[in-house]
Amino acid sequence: MPTEPARTTDVAALALEYGDRLIVGSVREMHHAISSRAFGATRLIGSRVPESLHDAVVTSFYGAISGGLRVGGAAVRSLASRGVGRPVEDSPRGRLVVAAINGLIGDELRMLDDPQAITMAVRVDGSDVPVTSWPLSEAFRGAGGHPVIFLHGLCENDESWENYSKQHGTSYAQRIAAETDGTPVMIRYNTGLHISENGKHLDQLIRRLVDSWPVAVTRITLVGHSMGGLVARAATNHATAAGESWQHMVRDVICLGTPHAGAALEKAAHVGSRLLRFWPESRPFSGILESRSAGITDLRHGYISAAEWEGQDLTVQWGLDRIAAAPLAHAEYHFVASTLGASQGHPFSAVLGDLLVHFSSATGVGRQGAIVDGARFEYLPSAHHFALLNHPRVGDWLVTWINERTQSPRALPAPKQA
Tell me the pLDDT of the chain averaged across its residues: 83
Top-tier CATH class for 121-263+320-411:
alpha beta
What is the full DSSP assignment across 197-248?
HHHHHHHHHHHHHHHH-SS----EEEEEETHHHHHHHHHHHHHHHHT-SGGG
Rounded Cα–Cα distance for residues 149 and 376 (Å): 19
d(CA 43, CA 285) in angstroms, rounded, equals 27
Asked whether the beta carbons of 257 and 334 are under 8 A apart, the reply is no
Model confidence pLDDT, tens digit, residues 74-93: 888 888 888 888 889 999 99
Compare 31 and 67 and report the one with higher pLDDT. 67
- pLDDT band for position 70 (cuts 50, 70, 90): confident
pLDDT of 321 reads 47
Give, in order, the Cα–Cα distances in Å from 78 to each of 11, 17, 71, 73, 107: 13, 13, 11, 9, 23
Provide CB contacts within 8 A for 290, sequence distance 6+.
273, 315
Work out the pLDDT band at 130, boundaries 50, 70, 90.
very high
318-338: average pLDDT: 75
The angle at the Cα of 296, spanning 383 to 187, to the nearest 5 degrees, equals 70
Asked whether residue 69 carries a pLDDT value surpassing 90, the answer given is: no
At residue 20, the pLDDT reads 67
Question: What are the phi and psi torsion angles at 366 (to 5°)?
Answer: -105, -165
Q: What is the pTM of this model?
A: 0.83
Concatenating the DSSP letter of every residue in 242-289 gives HT-SGGGGEEEEEEES--TT--HHHHHHHHHHHHHTTSTTTHHHHHHH
- Region at 148 (left for phi over 0; alpha for psi -120 to 50; beta for the rest): beta
| 247: CB partners within 8 A, 6+ apart | 236, 239, 240, 328
In 90-175, DSSP assigns E strands to: 121-124, 127-129, 147-151
Q: Is 384 helix (H, G, I), strand (E, B) or coil?
A: coil
Contacts of 45 (CB under 8 A, 6+ apart): none
d(C-alpha 398, C-alpha 176), whole Å: 8
Are 161 and 388 spatial neighbours (Cβ–Cβ below 8 Å)? Answer: no
Residue 387 per-residue DSSP state: G
At a CB cut-off of 8 Å and minimum separation 6, what does 169 contact?
A: none
Q: Is 308 helix (H, G, I), strand (E, B) or coil?
A: helix
Between helix 25-38 and helix 49-81 the angle, nearest 10°, is 180
State residue 182 phi and psi, 5-degree precision: -85, 155
Identify which of 139, 219, 152 has the alpha carbon closest to the alpha carbon of residue 412.
219
Strand pairing class (127-129; 121-124): antiparallel
61 versus 392: which is more confidently predicted? 392
Which has more confidence, 101 or 368?
101
pLDDT at res. 298: 84
Among 18-32, 161-175, 262-276, the minimum mean pLDDT is found in 262-276
Residue range 343-380, pLDDT digits in tens: 999 998 888 899 889 999 999 887 777 788 889 999 99
Which helix or strand (DSSP H or E) is residue 16 part of? helix 8-18
> Rounded mean pLDDT of 243-252?
95
How far apart are the C-alpha atoms of 260 and 339, rounded to whole Å? 16
Most confident of 101-115, 206-220, 258-272: 206-220
Residue 174 buriedness (CB in 10 A; 0-12 / 13-18 / 19+): middle
14-28, 30-44, 70-84, 289-303: range with highest mean pLDDT: 70-84
CA distances from 263 to 109, 111, 312 (A): 24, 26, 19
Lowest pLDDT segment from 112-126, 323-337, 344-358: 323-337
pLDDT reported for residue 73 = 78
207-241 pLDDT, tens digit each: 999 999 999 999 999 999 999 999 999 999 999 99
* Range scoring the smallest mean pLDDT among 130-144, 264-278, 385-399: 264-278
Can you give the pLDDT at residue 51? 64
| Residue 159 per-residue DSSP state | G
Which of 38-47, 193-202, 351-360, 389-398 is least confident? 38-47
Q: Where are the domains of the chain?
A: 8-90, 121-263+320-411
Q: Which residues of 59-76 are buried (b: 16+ CB within 10 A; e: fewer)?
A: eeebeebbeebeebbeeb
CA distances from 185 to 68, 209, 213, 323, 380 (A): 45, 10, 11, 30, 25
Rounded CA-CA distance 337/385 in Å is 9
Burial class, 272, CB count within 10 angstroms (exposed 0-12 / middle 13-18 / buried 19+): middle
pLDDT band at 34 (very low <50, low <70, confident <90, very high): low
pLDDT given at position 100: 92
99, 155 contact by CB (below 8 A): yes
pLDDT of residue 83: 84
